Amino acid sequence: MRRDVRFLTDRMAYELRLSPQQYDDVYEVNYDFLAHVAPLRVEVMYGYRSALDRYYDCLDIRNDDLRWILSSSQYRRFLKAEHFYRPYCSHQSRWQLRIYLVYTDVHHFYFGKPHHYLSYCGGHYRTHFHNVSYYRTHRHPHYRHAVFDGHFRIRKDRSVYDRHSRRDFPVSVRPQSRPDARPSHPGIRPNRGETRPNHRPEERPSRPEIRPSRPHLRPDREELKPQHRPEARPQRPVRPQRPERPNRVERPARPERPNRSERSNRVERRKESRRESRQQRSDERQQRRTERELYRTL
């Protein structure tokens, strides 16, 4: 936030030609304003009437403090510059400082940091001085310029307030504050009776002092036992026997493998039959050749 305060104050010093003392005082005023309106930005962007009223109250306090620091001519130029007079606005549905819309180079500063850039934390705000401007009661001796005495407030004039609020924050205004916000002054609860009604009886019913006497003698165990006890237990029903499973079917025995000699004989016989068939085919081919040759000679 201090960087935003310095950027705004630096551009005010550049355009309004502030002195070093004015530069330090304007930094304090801008710091107080930005610190007090920062918690309101969400409710202002939602258009709650109470948040808008508090925002323009803070803005009137800030502009009144500046009135005691700036000269009359400087203050008139200040009122004409919208980015100084009403520094915040809604830009693309976002909470935005107008000075960043005018000066896009946010890293350039015309002047150095104020001497209390890091040390000032709101000690000169008017709530510490009975709601009177510190810069009015503690005005520096070298401020010999005339003070602006014209109209500068926004909150008191309803027509000015509506015109500026519609231009700064073009949102639909809601009459109440946020639904989750608690009321600042809760209502008084209705009076209750001094004493609560006593629902308990005054006296509890007394317990009987004499308990009923118990018999001192216990009955004999024999009397507690049943007189007629069955002599034998009833026999359990006999379960039917399970049927015997049929015998398994015996698998046929595998045929025995032939001996090696028998297998070798089989192989020999196959070879012999193959040789005979080959010889027979060769004989047939030879016979066909001879027949063709005889046919040619004729």
Residue 159's CB is within 10 A of a number of other CB atoms, namely: 7
Rounded CA separation 154/87 (Å): 13
Give the span between the Cα atoms of 61 and 63, in whole angstroms: 6
Note the pTM of the prediction, 2 decimals: 0.58
In a domain, 274, yes or no: no
Tokens 């080959």 correspond to 278
Q: Count structural domains, the chain.
A: 1
Q: Which two tokens stand for residue 120?
A: 């000032």
Tell me if 124 is assigned to some domain. Answer: yes
Give the integer Cα–Cα distance in Å for 124 and 297: 145
Pairing, β 94-97 against β 88-91: antiparallel
Q: What is the CA radius of gyration of the chain?
A: 58
160-196 tens-digit pLDDT: 988 998 999 988 788 765 555 454 444 445 455 444 5
**Helix H or strand E encompassing 40:** none
Inside any domain, residue 288: no
Q: Does residue 246 lie in a domain region?
A: no
C-alpha distance from residue 292 to each of 30, 34, 105, 278 (Å): 130, 126, 114, 22
Domain residue limits at 117: 2-168
pLDDT digits (tens, 9 = 90+) for 66-123: 999 999 999 999 999 999 999 999 998 899 999 999 999 999 999 999 999 999 998 8
Identify whether 254 is part of a domain.
no
Answer whether residue 214 is part of any domain.
no
